[in-house]
Amino acid sequence: MKILVLGADGYLGWPTSVDLALDKHELLLIDNYAKRSIMSENNRAPLILNKKIESKIKILKKINKKVSFKNIDCSNFNKFSDAFKKFKPDAVIHFAELPSAPYSMLGAKEGWKTLQNNIQSTYNLVWNVKTHRPNCHIVKLGTMGEYGTPNINIEEGWLNVKHQGRNQKFLYPRQASSLYHTSKIMDTDLIWFYLRLYSLRATDLMQGPVYGVYANDFSKENKLEPTFAYDDMFGTVLNRFIVQSVANVPLTVYGSGNQIRGYLNIRDTIQCIKLALKNPPKKGVLNIFNQFTEQFSVKELANKVASALKKIELNVKIKAIKNPRIEKEKHYYNAKNTGMKKLGLKPTLLTDKVIIEMAQYVISNKKHINNKIISPKSTWK
Ligand code: USQ
């Protein structure tokens, strides 16, 4: 297939690009390094500052000549449209968004930047698909955070409503608790709107927090790891806990630690994206999958990390700190995730071995850990 990957430099965009290159697809990778810039403007940095795509792509070209890269801001309509029209993709994977809830809640400028970048990129993509390539399959990375934490079971994208004797299937209600997550709801609305009117084809992957380093063995052998963030703004909770354990800093459990989320390994993110590509919806259909494999509370996660890392003699301490976010700390949570399993997802579960392997990667890069960017610096209040 001819696949356009938007946001190819990111934590998930890069490993997806490597995997699709191995599968010999024709790829155009797009990124403008916006996340790198924002991290550095905010004095944050990933564990290792990876090389930019221009230099890493040489390794990919050795296995697949049909891989190219363009430095383009997807929120720039003209530049994006030119690249889209020239490449004529069969599928687009859309990661080109600012992914941080804490960043989006920092202040007026950061909130608007997140909304503007994410909605504009999505709008540019859908408009171009509608106008130039209506058969192209849009695979959009959504988030479980769009649903929030409702007091009823979370269905896979849709809810059948029976009202005064009549039935209608609606998008499952969305009620996020950050501007970032709200921007993802707006994406969903945009895609659903265009799809209803113009019979496009899209898959929305409602993903929980991801953890892990290497998505495949090729990346490990060639040191092609993704940007592994562990700071208070851009690191997801489990990746942060692993770095905190290695840095001998108590694990930062926010508030009571009873917040439950659905988690998944980075290997499974890639599996899910590939399954979505292999199973495109018919025209006019929006496929929605809840993309996570296991549910944990933050407290359970911290305890799992501490108990696994005891086996390699790390004495992990856990400390509940005042929650810098505004979120429910005690809530019902039961989300469905059967769709991807039906398509063939083989989950990589959070075993002690997985936790230890992540810790070993961090231990080998211990000298790069900056303790100053670990604890949360701002609150949402
Ligand atoms: N948390 C802690 N301690 C920390 C960091 C986080 O207790 O040091 C808690 C948070 O309060 C939250 C939970 O862990 O209750 C998850 O936080 P997170 O930072 O791992 O995840 P979140 O901000 O929700 O965002 C991440 C990704 C985002 C993705 C989302 C999926 O950054 O791009 O959309 O996970 S979900 O959370 O399901 O919406």
pLDDT tens digit sequence for 3-29 = 999 999 999 999 999 999 999 999 999
Q: Which residues contact 197 (CB under 8 A, 6 or more apart)?
A: none
Cα of 62 from ligand 1 centre, angstroms: 37
- Nearest atom in ligand 1 to 262's CA: 38
Confirm if 339 and 271 have CB atoms less than 8 A apart: no
Secondary structure of residue 178 in the 3-state scheme: coil
Average pLDDT over residues 250-279: 98
Q: Atom 32, ligand 1: which residue's CA is nearest?
A: 100
Residue 378, pLDDT score: 87
Cα of 103 from ligand 1 centre, angstroms: 12
**Diameter of the chain by CA atoms?**
65
d(CA 269, CA 273): 6
List ligand 1's pocket residues with C-beta within 6 A. Answer: 99-101, 143-145, 181, 207-209, 236-237, 240, 252-254, 259, 261, 298, 325, 327
The residue behind tokens 């690191």 is 235
Residue 295, pLDDT score: 98
Picking from 159, 140, 147, the residue whose alpha carbon sits closest to that of residue 203 is 140
CATH superfamily of 2-228+265-293+332-347: NAD(P)-binding Rossmann-like Domain (3.40.50.720)
**Active site includes 180?**
yes
Q: Which residues contact 334 (CB under 8 A, 6 or more apart)?
A: 153, 154, 295
List, in sequence order, every beta strand (DSSP E) within the chain.
2-6, 26-31, 67-71, 91-94, 137-143, 158-163, 166-171, 201-207, 210-211, 251-254, 260-265, 286-291, 294-297, 318-321
**Active site includes 123?**
no
pLDDT band at residue 262 using 50, 70 and 90 as cut-offs: very high
Q: Is the pLDDT of residue 381 over 90?
A: no
Average pLDDT over residues 149-160: 98
Confirm if 336 and 293 have CB atoms less than 8 A apart: no
Q: Which two tokens stand for residue 371?
A: 């303790």
Q: What is the pTM of this model?
A: 0.97
Q: What amino acid occupies position 39? A: M
- Nearest atom in ligand 1 to 142's CA: 34
Q: Which two tokens stand for residue 23?
A: 């599968």
**Active site includes 70?**
no
User: Is 264 exposed, middle or buried, given 0-12, 13-18 or 19+ CB atoms closer than 10 A?
Assistant: buried
Average pLDDT over residues 194-199: 97
